[in-house]
Amino acid sequence: MRISTPTPDGLAVQRVADSAPADAAEAPAPAPAATPLQSSVMQPALQAMRAMPEMDQEKIDMLRDALAKGELPFDPAKLAGLIQRFHGSEQ
């Protein structure tokens, strides 16, 4: 029996209830369903993401030079506070 349940994002999740008796011979496992990242909706986004460079080296070099020249303010105490807040001040 298949039961469709809507999710908060509007997609339907299908659940399959097994109604075969416990002593029935095991049937071959069904093929795995496509994961959300394999869906036709996600494929264009994944392809675009894969086409992007891992990092923007030109921008990294520009920021590094600006820091070295003192053109970009750097507050290590503020950075430490942001890191601590992001990680929930776990010890």
The tally of domains found in the chain comes to 1
Q: Render pLDDT for 20-30 as a digit per residue (tens, 0 to 9).
A: 555 555 566 66
Question: What pTM does this model have?
Answer: 0.32
Q: Render pLDDT for 54-86 as a digit per residue (tens, 0 to 9).
A: 888 999 999 999 989 999 888 999 999 999 999
DSSP string, 43-77: HHHHHHHHHS-SS-HHHHHHHHHHHHHT-S---HH
Q: Is residue 30 part of a domain?
A: no
Q: Is residue 71 part of a domain?
A: yes
- Domain span at residue 71 reads 61-86
Give, for 3, the enclosing helix (H) or strand (E): strand 2-6
Q: Is residue 72 part of a domain?
A: yes
